[in-house]
A and B are shown apart, each in its own frame.
Chain A
Amino acid sequence: MTTDAPRVQKTPAAQSQADFVQIIDVVKKFGDAVAVDHVNLSIRKNEFFALLGSSGCGKSTLLRLMAGLDAPDGGRILVDGQDITALPTWQRPVNMMFQSYALFPHMSVEDNAAYGLRREGVGKQELRERVAAALDLVQMGKFAKRKPHQLSGGQQQRVALARSLVKRPKLLLLDEPMSALDKKIRQQTQFELGNILYSVGVTCIMVTHDQEEAMTMADRLAVMNEGRILQVGRPDEVYEAPTCRFAAEFIGSTNLFHGVLAGDDSPLFACKDLNVPLRVPNPMNARGGHKVQLSLRPERIALSHAPAAQEANWASGTVEQIAYMGSYTLFYVRLASGRLMEVDVSRTAVRAMSRTPDYGDTVYLSWSAEQLVVLEK
């Protein structure tokens, strides 16, 4: 397949309309366990929104509630101003692409794609045109007469996508769309999928546990854990400024520190793991002794054989583990306090060093105040 340069478009905030999809205080319980715990979300028109979280966090349950496959125990769901909470799944303007694709095995690709339109009672001519257009969109026109078991995983995925788009739904739901694909073709498929959905112009909510996938494809994402939304924002916002420990650790990797505010309204935090204090850009508005967590991304740390000339925000230790990743190298440095820190050094930076650090070398880590993020929870 010919590939265009990946151009997953991000919807500019000015264009989108607010609140095309509204999830208001939705609750779902299974017996005593609360799967979805008072979730509130607003999604804009034509936005690609990702629900990110690990297994069992409730994201798939939330998706099913939106699709109408399960009924919520509380709350409302609105799409384009219409309250669809009480509507059964066959009446909702919402279509879902299942994780297992759920293609009908006894029907051809064509019939699979036409299924939704046939239930609507669309006329023969229009049906044929729309099905052909949908299959062409995903480049499966040539396989129209084949049965699902004769297709590869990637081809089945495309048929499932065509089937869910052919009815022109107001909201498209994607349940871990890439999980069944090989890692190699996943990235290319992410771009293709993003391009197709952008060209069609449909509001999407995707559920995934793969944070890279969410960051690549989504305009905005929500980090979910134990049925609750922890943080909502653009991928860069959530990455650069996580508001809680879970978000900081789930997206990318991070070094977390427990800091104690050195004095009233001070920018300095004392940390047991370090010999020197941690300095943040702005003084914190709190009393001395206030405890916080601070997040420091591994790629923001400078690694050197010589100590840095700064009073705070540095540490020294021995190199315990080295992971060469090609474009960057991961160094795991054991500090004197026993703490292990992860440092991500780009290839350029490694080459600029006089000598590549080896196992057992004493190295100095330093970072600027702007790289520290204070986590609220």
Chain B
Amino acid sequence: MSPALRRPRAWLPSGRTMVIAVPFVFLLVFFMVPFAAVLKISFSDVQMSVPPYTHIAEFKDGVLRVVLNFAHYGEVLSNPLYIGAYGYSIWVAGLTTLICLLIGYPACYLIARADPARRNLLMMAVMLPFWTSYLIRVYAWIGLLKNQGLVNSFLLWAHLIDAPLKLYHNNVGLLIGMVYNYLPYLMLPLYAQLLKLDTRLLEAAGNLGARPWQAFCTITLPLSTRAIVSSCLLVFIPAVGEYVIPEILGGSNSLMVGRVMWDDFFVNADWPTASAATGCMVLLLLLPMAWFQRLQRRELEAR
């Protein structure tokens, strides 16, 4: 190679570094920096200005003053509204995870045992909703669940009920929407794991005297525990902070954390408190996230 072409390569980083750098920089710009900004706001104070919060650091006359206001964290952690909201969020997320698991595990199991051609078709059917807009899907549920909606109209027409069921703007609608949205998130990783299950193990178990349900309980379930837990965490962690579904399908009394935060941000213009609530939520979810990370690493090591 001629010297002219060789020179610029000397100061550019190596190809491998560049490849790793891309997702790194992406995460840095679109995750770390905004998160750091939110944390900064959580330590500041409310102020009638644009933006509506004070600066935490001030450099005047050669003195750097950093003021960290912990009052908002105190507010969040002591306010029954917030505590109730956190509790409710965890409860809804937990219930969503449970229902997703009860529906998703048998579905994944059956799909994994189907023949290869049909398998792919079925999993594509599970993923198909992702091709449409998230908001549209949630709105579509309104059309199904409201009093004059399709579900009630059908049940009334079939004379199965006398009065329309209350499925909209309450906990039932909320849960239906949550389960509907989060089910693929549970099924995809679980399916991948169940697919890897060695059917010869089940044959061996059967040959040793285990009936099919015994083989399931003693072989399949224990071997899929890790997959179940990590899939459940994949549903639970984002479900806690869900905003759109409770807002659109949930009732006015079902206050999840996302809702309360939104109110604080846009109704009360209390950015610092809302930011503090975010910080608290991250702390809350730190344990499940760490657990999930540990499971993922164990999974990679096992390969």
Residue of A nearest to B219 (CB): A104
User: Do B200 and A100 have beta carbons less than 8 Å apart?
Assistant: yes
B208 touches A115 (CB 8 A): yes
Among B204, B209, B222: residue with most chain A CB under 10 A: B204
Q: Is B58 an interface residue (CB 8 A)?
A: no
Cα distance A120–B208 when bound, in Å? 9
Let me know if B209 and A102 touch, CB within 8 A: no
- Interface range on chain A (Cβ under 8 Å from partner): 20 to 34
Q: Are A89 and B207 in contact (CB under 8 A)?
A: yes
**A94: B residues at CB distance < 8 A:** 207
Contact present for B207 and A119 (CB under 8 Å): no
CB interface residues, A 57-90, toward B, < 8 Å: 67-69, 88-90
A residues near B222, Cβ cutoff 8 Å? 106
B204 with A119: CB separation less than 8 A:
no
Given A105-B223, A106-B223, answer yes or no on A90-B203 (Cβ-Cβ < 8 Å). no
Q: Of the candidates B198, B205, B211, B223, which one forms a contact with A115 in the assembled complex, judged by CB atoms under 8 Å apart?
A: B205
Q: Does A239 contact B (CB under 8 A)?
A: no
With A105-B223, A106-B222 already in contact, the answer to whether A98 and B200 are too (CB < 8 A) is yes
Partner of B207, one of A68, A106, A120: A68
Q: Which of A85-112 contact B (CB under 8 A)?
A: 88-90, 92, 94-96, 98, 100, 102, 104-106
B81: shortest Cβ distance to chain A, in Å? Answer: 46
Given A104-B219, A105-B223, A106-B222, check contact A116 B203 (CB 8 Å): no
B interface, over-half SS: helix
- Asked whether A167 is an interface residue with its Cβ less than 8 Å from the other chain, the reply is yes
Residues facing A in B195-242 (CB within 8 A) are 198, 200-201, 203-211, 214, 218-219, 222-223
Report whether A69 and B207 are in contact in the complex, using a CB–CB cutoff of 8 Å.
yes
- The answer to whether B223 and A102 touch across the interface, beta carbons within 8 angstroms, is no
Residues of B within 8 Å of A96, CB to CB, are: 204, 207
Residues of chain B within 8 A (CB-CB) of A119 are 208-210, 214
Confirm or deny: A297 has a beta carbon within 8 angstroms of a beta carbon on chain B. Answer: no
CB <8 Å contact, B208 and A167? yes
Contact call B206/A102, Cβ cutoff below 8 A: no
Complex Cα spacing A100 to B200, Å = 8
Is A163 positioned at the interface, with any CB of B under 8 Å from its CB?
yes
- A120→B218 CA distance, assembly (Å): 14
| Bound: A344/B209 CA distance, A | 50
Flag A106-136 by CB within 8 Å of B: 1 or 0 each: 1000000001100110000000000000000
> Which of chain B's residues has its CB closest to A105's CB?
B223
A69 B208 Cβ-Cβ under 8 A: no
CA A104 to CA B218, docked complex, whole Å: 10
The 5 closest A-B pairs by CB, nearest first: A116-B208, A102-B204, A119-B209, A102-B200, A89-B206
Given contact pairs A90-B207, A102-B204, enumerate 16 new A-B contacts (beta carbons under 8 Å): A69-B203, A69-B206, A89-B206, A90-B208, A90-B209, A90-B211, A98-B200, A102-B200, A102-B201, A104-B204, A106-B222, A115-B218, A119-B210, A119-B214, A120-B209, A167-B208
Residues in chain B within 8 A of chain A (CB atoms): 198, 200-201, 203-211, 214, 218-219, 222-223
Name 15 A/B residue pairs within 8 A (Cβ), A-sorted. A68-B207, A69-B207, A90-B206, A90-B208, A90-B211, A94-B207, A98-B200, A98-B204, A102-B201, A104-B205, A104-B219, A106-B222, A106-B223, A119-B208, A167-B209
